A and B are shown apart, each in its own frame.
Chain A
């Protein structure tokens, strides 16, 4: 099969995974029940609650967050020319985690916790980029700054855990840090999805040029690409997506490390092919995995 031809089969797998994520679980739904709910002719009661308030938000969140993390991972790996880079390499996950655990510690409502996590995730990467620019360093310096600031945020998380009430807040913090889609509501999705789409937009539009960053700055520039500016766009877009995803689902950044590698086996390393494949592939994986949990 041609490398570009993988997008269609992955799309079919995604639809199958979405449906199974909605249909399977302790309260199974038949294809007819799903269609009836979508058409607005479902039986009111448990079936409607399970479909609209539990399963659908959860699979849509899995699709959205999975796509965001995988697309961000693929973009970061290409932009930093490093196959071991994950979306949290610039400290966004640790930063978002720190904001979220602070929110839990302060007893904020769920939406405020997510918003605080999102904001601190973005702020952490802003600090990292500012530091790297101040040092006038290369992409490697930026990655090293990300690791250092991320570790600092990790220390902050440990401090909050130490101060938290061990009977009430600490379990909530621990569960949040583990990452989960279990409590996903429609409102959560509506809050995070726009940021994910906004971050994805430049990656989709610049999909061909981003691939040139894998050649190194000098070669990319000699081919007509402003490498520094383009990398800044990638960092901004991927950070926006990752911060939104982590603030919704907890620290699950590893998805963005693994999935692009799996998809490269199918599509090759060209970013314009890897981006849709990664987004589709990880969505399917997550939808399947939550289908197993009900």
Chain B
């Protein structure tokens, strides 16, 4: 099966010297790939490369089997949608306007959104339960609400692959649960999702495959249970981390600063 996003031996970064190298990944329809790593190791850099915003310095990157270097901006946007961490706007766009912008790749170069695009934008807002915010000024929404609008925009883009940069970082408990449920639903609908998170519990709840990113590149990758081990995470974050099996089959991780015990591999 052709991967929605495929990378082999990928190296990328700003300028000519790579920040990341040797990244191999394959995202298939319906798969959720979790990306974990300390601050500053290059998670967002990797995402920007996958989106064609940073150059491929070495290796190969394909979207639906096609070399990204041969795709124009519109073709990339039709293949992959992006939810950034945050947004700063110089003007007071409404939430609906922002979501409508997600329809741009589906429009002709000289076209503006029509009634069908408006319907799809409202459907995306409704799916996130924020249709009541449609007319609100985006700059006056809370960080969490803005995050929801950006996710709605990515849904309106209707791309088969979704890249989400810490999608629940600004969300309260209820909205975090809502987004996690949505991610699971989207995966069931056949959308491939790569998301970064600082929460290993969340990665355990959502991801089928996990990549641990350390300074310079990939530390470990593979099926979630094989990668999210106490030893891997302790090594990655440089602090003792315990892994606990929950009664519902899930995993819970916690940093254990007080005892200083180095946990056994999970």
A residues sitting closer than 8 Å to B (CB atoms) are: 77-78, 81-83, 205-209, 211-212, 214-216, 218-219, 221-226, 264, 268-270, 272
Contact = CB atoms under 8 A, between A and B. Distances in A.
Nearest to A274: B91
Interface in B86-125: 87-94, 97, 101-102, 104-105, 107, 109-113
Interface residues of B, number: 33
Contacts of A208: 104, 107, 111-113
A224 B76 contact: yes
B14 interface: no
Given A83-B91, A264-B91, A268-B97, A218 B53 contact: yes
B87 A223 contact: no
A26 to B, nearest CB: 43
Contacts of B111: 208
Given A208-B104, A223-B102, A214 B72 contact: no
Contacts, number: 78
A209 B109 contact: yes
A272 B113 CA distance: 10
Nearest to A83: B90
25 contacts: A83-B90, A206-B109, A206-B110, A208-B107, A208-B113, A211-B101, A212-B104, A214-B89, A214-B90, A214-B91, A214-B93, A215-B89, A218-B48, A219-B87, A221-B53, A222-B53, A222-B77, A223-B77, A223-B101, A223-B104, A224-B73, A224-B74, A224-B105, A264-B91, A269-B93
B84 A223 contact: no
B74 to A, nearest CB: 4
Given A208-B111, A214-B93, A268-B94, 20 more contacts: A82-B90, A83-B90, A208-B104, A208-B113, A209-B104, A215-B87, A215-B89, A216-B88, A221-B51, A221-B73, A223-B101, A223-B102, A223-B104, A224-B77, A224-B78, A226-B72, A264-B92, A268-B93, A270-B97, A272-B112
Interface of B: 48, 51-53, 72-74, 76-78, 81-82, 84, 87-94, 97, 101-102, 104-105, 107, 109-113, 157
Which 7 A-B pairs rank lowest in CB-CB distance, beginning with the nearest?
Answer: A224-B77, A224-B105, A269-B91, A208-B112, A222-B82, A224-B74, A81-B90
A205 B76 CA distance: 23
Interface of B is mostly: loop
A182 B230 CA distance: 80
Nearest to B77: A224
A270 B93 contact: yes
A198 B81 CA distance: 35
Contacts of B89: 214-215
A108 to B, nearest CB: 40
A226 to B, nearest CB: 5
Contact of B73 (A211, A225, A269): A225
A216 B88 CA distance: 8
Contacts of B87: 215-216, 219
B92 A224 contact: no
B157 to A, nearest CB: 7
A223 B48 CA distance: 13
Contacts of B81: 222
B4 to A, nearest CB: 16
B52 A221 contact: yes
Most A-side CB within 10 Å, residue of B77, B90, B104:
B90
B112 A226 contact: no
A216 B91 CA distance: 12
Nearest to B76: A224
Contacts of A216: 87-88
Nearest to B51: A222
A225 B97 CA distance: 16
Contact of A223 (B93, B105, B112): B105
Nearest to B139: A269
A194 B52 CA distance: 39
A30 B77 CA distance: 58
A226 B73 contact: yes
